Amino acid sequence: MTRALVAANVAVFLLWHTLGRSQQGGDWLAANFLVSAGAIYQGRVWTLILAEFSHYESWHLLLNMIALWTFGRAVERTIGPGRLLRLYLVGALVASVSYVVYAVVVGSGEPALGASGAVSAIAVVFACIYPRAWLLLNFFIPVPAALAVALFLLLDLVGVLNPRGDMIAHAAHLGGALYGFLYWLIVLRPRLRPVYEA
Q: Give the active site residues.
A: 116, 173
How far is it, in rounded angstroms, from Cα 52 to Cα 69?
15
* Residue 110, burial from CB neighbour count under 10 angstroms (0-12, 13-18, 19+): middle
CB neighbour burial string for 136-146, b if at least 16 within 10 angstroms, e if fewer: eeeeeeeeebb
Contact status, residue 146 vs residue 129, Cβ threshold 8 Å: no
| Of the candidates 135, 133, 129, the residue with the CA atom closest to the CA atom of residue 152 | 135
